[in-house]
Amino acid sequence: MSQGATISSARRVVAIYPGSFDPLTNGHLDLISRAAKLADRLIVAVLNNSRKQPLFTVEERIEMIRQAAGDQGNVETDSFGGLLVDYAAKRQANVIVRGIRAISDYETELQMALINRRLRPETETIFLMAREEFSYVSSRMIKEIFSLGGDVSGFVPALVAERLRGKLKT
Ligand code: PNS
């Protein structure tokens, strides 16, 4: 066996894609499928933050991600609280994946990546550029458009649009 083959077979990429996912958008979904091709295992990790007032519960968000991303064998969905790097250590993840849509994302993402590297250098943050058609889509905008009666199909999976309609009724 060549040295190259030994190195590549020894290194497994366990990646975490963390976020609020309130709710999951087509941009998130695109990132999940692209990250799943790069990682041996991809853990989509929903932040459980009692200080935020989310529209969907953590359980609802996990269920939507599982349904929408379901057929990708190396993808699992989980939730986490506390520091992301502690969760990464617990899950033995060596990579954090984040998406960048526009230059405006860069500053916050750079700050988070540098803090996370300082806290846990073993975990490397990698960035994937959002596809152009999703570069202006955010969960916050989706909620606003939807609450004002706008059409969000094309921005979110159909099952998420359905759940949003359910939230409006309640
Ligand atoms: O989808 P979001 O809201 O942009 O995701 C932000 C998230 C969940 C990645 C970030 O808030 C996070 O990692 N929170 C966990 C707390 C933490 O580790 N903070 C220190 C690094 S900034």
47-76 pLDDT, tens digit each: 998 777 999 999 999 999 999 998 789 999
The answer to whether 37 is a known catalytic residue is: no
**Per-residue pLDDT at 45:** 98
Q: How far is the CA of 75 from the centre of ligand 1 (A)?
A: 20
The pLDDT of 90-116, averaged and rounded, is: 96
Whether ligand 1 lies within 6 angstroms of the CB of 32 is answered as: no
**Per-residue pLDDT at 170:** 60
- Pocket-testing residue among 28, 47, 107, 141, ligand 1, by greatest number of atoms within 8 A of Cβ: 47
**Per-residue pLDDT at 1:** 45
Q: Burial of 157 by CB count in 10 Å (0-12 exposed, 13-18 middle, 19+ buried)?
A: buried
Token duo for residue 113: 């990546």
Token duo for residue 148: 């004002």
Confidence category of residue 10, pLDDT binned at 50, 70, 90: low
Instruction: Give the amino acid at 169.
Output: K
Q: What are phi and psi of 48, to 5 degrees?
A: -105, 95
Q: What is the pLDDT of residues 124-138, one digit of tens each?
A: 999 999 999 999 999
Mean pLDDT of the chain: 92
Residue 16 has pLDDT above 90, yes or no: yes
For residue 141, give Cα distances in angstroms to 25, 121, 151. 10, 34, 12
Q: Which atom of ligand 1 is nearest to the CA of 115?
A: 21
For residue 13, give Cα distances in angstroms to 92, 138, 144, 153. 10, 27, 36, 34
Residue 78 has pLDDT above 90, yes or no: yes
CA 155 to CA 137: how far, in whole Å?
7
Confidence category of residue 11, pLDDT binned at 50, 70, 90: confident
**Per-residue pLDDT at 6:** 55
Contact call for residues 54 and 87 (beta carbons, < 8 A): no
Residue 41 has pLDDT above 50, yes or no: yes
CA count, 13 A, side-chain hemisphere, 41: 13
**Per-residue pLDDT at 95:** 98
Q: Which of 110-114, 148-152, 165-169 has the lowest mean pLDDT?
A: 165-169
- Active-site entry in 37, 51, 52, 169: 52
Whether ligand 1 lies within 6 angstroms of the CB of 112 is answered as: yes
pTM of this structure: 0.93
